Amino acid sequence: MELWSENTIEEFRRQLLTWYDENGRANLPWRLNHEPYRVLVSEIMLQQTQVDTVLPYYERFMIAFPTVQDLAHAPETQVLKLWEGLGYYSRARNLQKAAKFVADDLYGNWPESSDDLQELAGVGPYTAAAIASISFNEVVPAVDGNAFRVFSRLLKIDDDIAQAKTRKIFYDAILPIVDPQRPGDFNQAIMDLGSSYMTAKNPDSEHSPVKAFNAAYRDGVELLYPVKTKKPKPVKQLFVATVSRKDNQLLFEKRPETGLLADFWTFPLTQINSIEDIKGEQLNIKPVVHVFTHRRWEIWLVKHQITPLENQKYLTQNEWQQLSLPTLQHKLLKALEECD
């Protein structure tokens, strides 16, 4: 790992923030107002989701819930409906839990340090650091995928970012570099740098505003950083989705309170060992595929009339369209439409 002198650090801050002031994405709606609630909503939405995808969701969400109190006291069904399509719905549930904690338990007073912010549901070290630096000017690095990539290349840090212990190595390396006067802008500049000149593939370091500080680029090994062991492939699992009709209604099932797709409504799903186990009229030739972090579901639609269980009910199209349906269920509905 390269170590920078104080002069190098000061020059890096100057060049980075000059570029950010002139070219940063200052027009992003969550950067126009540094109120912690707005920053929290944006950071939770941006987890594993691209900025362009988040923008319309964020704007609708803030119209519906302009304050932390509004979100805290909203019906969960409304929150999930506005989240529909973003996926990873536990984020929405945790976001509302965090809002309730701030609004009700803390009487609207926000924790101001990155350590205290981690007491909020769904808020980890990165999100806490982002809020603390942007909203409360705490000098703390926000270590996310962009920071891993940017600083692994700048400093040639060889530690495997897939290992949990590596976060502290990066945190300790970045902390003395964070601008003490503008920590929030510094962290956001690193985010912008990582999504522009220092992308994972096809980086443009030749024109980067911090080219002179990029040790990996200088040594011709930029694409070797960050060091990261590959994730195992998702485990394939087979399911049938039962299509049961009654008049103009379709049978839906409420998922269990825990596990994947918790509390959502879907067609009844049954895991099978092989397609030979399918019972009923198979509707789709190719399975509907849905990939979770560690699992790959392949699902066949099967026409089969069944009597509803306690957690199942027949719903009209108008009724199920009012529900917040997971992306998987939208895929199943689309596949059914193509089969009909």
Q: Which residues are catalytic?
A: 43
Backbone φ, ψ for residue 87 (5° rounding): 75, 180
CA distances for 179 relative to 10, 39, 140, 187, 338, angstroms: 8, 20, 9, 9, 55
Pair of tokens at residue 14: 């100057």
Angle between the N-to-C axes of helices 51-64 and 36-45, in degrees from 0 to 180, rounded to the nearest 10 = 140
Cβ neighbours, 10 Å, residue 213:
21
Q: Which of 19, 51, 3, 77 is nearest to 264 (CA)?
A: 77
3-state secondary structure of 43: helix
β-bridge pairing 235-243 and 295-303: parallel
Short-list 145, 139, 144, 146, CA closest to 185: 139
DSSP string, 213-263: G-HHHHTT-GGG-S--PPPPPPEEEEEEEEE-EETTEEEEEEPPSSSTTTT
CA distance 266 to 241: 9
- The answer to whether residues 170 and 157 touch, using CB atoms and an 8 Å cutoff, is yes
User: Terminal CA-to-CA distance of the chain, rounded, Å?
Assistant: 60
d(CA 175, CA 155): 13
Cβ 300 vs Cβ 282: under 8 Å: yes
